[in-house]
Amino acid sequence: MDNAGTKMLQTAHDIIKKVAYDLRLDDETVKRIIDPEELHEYSFTVPNQNGLSRLYKGYRIQHNSALGPYKGGIRFHPNVTKEEVQALATLMSIKCAVAGLPFGGGKGGVAVDPKLLSEAELEALSRAYAKKIAAVIGPTVDIPAPDINTNPKIMAWMLDEYIKTANDKKKSTDQTQLLATFTGKPVEKGGTLGRTEATGRGGVFILQALLKKLNLGKNRLTVAVQGFGNVGYYFAKISEESGFKLVGLSDSKGAVFVKEGLSVESTLRCKKERGSVAGCYCRGSVCDIRYGETITNQELLELPVDILVPAALENIINEDNMRKIRAKIIVEMANGPTTEEAFDYLHKKGVVIVPDVLANSGGVTVSYLEWYQNMHNEKWTENGVNKRLQKMVEASFDSVWQTSQEKKISLKQAAFEVAIERIVSKVRIAP
């Protein structure tokens, strides 16, 4: 049994049980929230470029559909296990419920290192997995999306395979609605404008809503972002455009600190040339874009900033470094960046932590908007999508904030309470 996946699942169950206890839910209801409704496990072979076939293990776990069709990404990663997928599916039920979406939670994955595959092999694997899950997904049943190492191109291959199967089985004649089976598609294949930026943009909207409540909305606050991928880059770029002072950025190779504030676009240009953000700023040398310095990834987390934004890895704020964290606010854009121990310590110290299930829900919110456009045969402008995103994430933030204020609990506890109460309100249990 895999340890990391098992631990992740245990952590998800522990917090649900704790919140359920505080909400005084009965055992049967707790079981209904914890147990997945359907576990699909597949062993399938895919030919490689030498004509030999390789065996893969894949999963689709449909956790809870009380609020609507299952929703959640598909991950291609060597560490994928049933327990990990189940944990992620469980957290998707919570995230969709916090976000106020008419979706439940699901997740899929294949244990594979896609970096070792050729493009043709990756396509064959994606199509083979899609064929396997085709019987259990659909626009009103289960709606997958990209996750780690999967992207719009892979969604397009999977959708194509799904549509062939659905048409073979005459499951539906409405081709536009069939597009809604996958989100995170390329725009020309029914994807939505604004999806690429959505997670980062949603995070900035939520941060702004928090600062208004804390009466810090007018200040030019300093921000450090760990990770310069999809989420980190757009969070940094959009927060800079919104008036925050970005002083720290990092990627897997190192970090930079520019006390006077850095330029996200110049950093991106430099990263493209050098292969990393480290070294883009240095004191008194030719590589100086502005006066700044290269620091370690660890030092980035310990910077004396107003807002720290982990947007890369799990468990990076932990027992080893929690006493050195100096930020007043942490916005968890990555999934699970703060361990339970570190969370409790920092929360007690007065650090405001916006939990991942709320902070990064902009991504699944725009996935919902993509699904909605497909289901209603509509196409919205990017501005139209962003406005709806803002309204929706602000509404989710408000519910969580209100609960945390009324009950004097952390935003994380409040987010889980809001989500679980929404799910429970739809779970019908026989008297």
Q: What is the set of active-site residues?
A: 107
Examine residue 152 and tell whether it contacts ligand NAD (CB under 6 A).
no
Cβ distance to ligand NAD smaller for residue 68 or 152:
152
Cβ distance to ligand NAD smaller for residue 32 or 190:
190
Which 3-state string (H, E, C) describes 306-346? CEEEECCCCCCECCCCHHHCCCCEEECCCCCCECHHHHHHH
User: How distant, in Å, are the alpha carbons of 139, 178, 341, 420 from that of 144?
Assistant: 9, 12, 32, 22
Examine residue 105 and tell whether it contacts ligand NAD (CB under 6 A).
no
Q: What is the number of the residue whose Cβ is closest to ligand NAD?
A: 229
Out of 222, 360, 373, 374, the only residue in the binding site for ligand NAD (CB under 6 A) is 360
Out of 29, 165, 172, 230, the only residue in the binding site for ligand NAD (CB under 6 A) is 230
* Distance of alpha carbon 98 from alpha carbon 418, whole angstroms: 6
Cβ distance to ligand NAD smaller for residue 128 or 338:
338
Examine residue 252 and tell whether it contacts ligand NAD (CB under 6 A).
yes
Tell me the closest approach of the beta carbon of residue 282 to ligand NAD, in angstroms. Answer: 19
Q: Which long-range contacts (CB under 8 A, 24 or more apart) does 17-24 make?
A: 19/413, 19/416, 19/417, 19/420, 20/420, 22/413, 22/417, 23/417, 23/420, 23/421, 23/424
CB burial of residue 371 (10 Å; 0-12, 13-18, 19+): buried
411-424 vs 82-98: helix crossing angle, rounded to 10: 90
Of 264, 266, 323, whose CA–CA distance to 298 is shortest? 323
Examine residue 197 and tell whether it contacts ligand NAD (CB under 6 A).
no
- Cross-strand pairs, 295: 255
Site string for ligand NAD, 300-329 (x = CB under 6 A): -----------xxx----------------
Examine residue 268 and tell whether it contacts ligand NAD (CB under 6 A).
no
**Number of chain residues interacting with ligand NAD (CB under 6 A):** 20
* Distance of alpha carbon 208 from alpha carbon 201, whole angstroms: 11
Examine residue 229 and tell whether it contacts ligand NAD (CB under 6 A).
yes
Examine residue 155 and tell whether it contacts ligand NAD (CB under 6 A).
no
Tell me the closest approach of the beta carbon of residue 8 to ligand NAD, in angstroms. Answer: 12
Examine residue 335 and tell whether it contacts ligand NAD (CB under 6 A).
yes
Examine residue 227 and tell whether it contacts ligand NAD (CB under 6 A).
yes
Residue type (1 letter), 38 = E
Binding site for ligand NAD (CB under 6 A): 199, 226-232, 250-252, 297, 311-313, 333-335, 360, 363
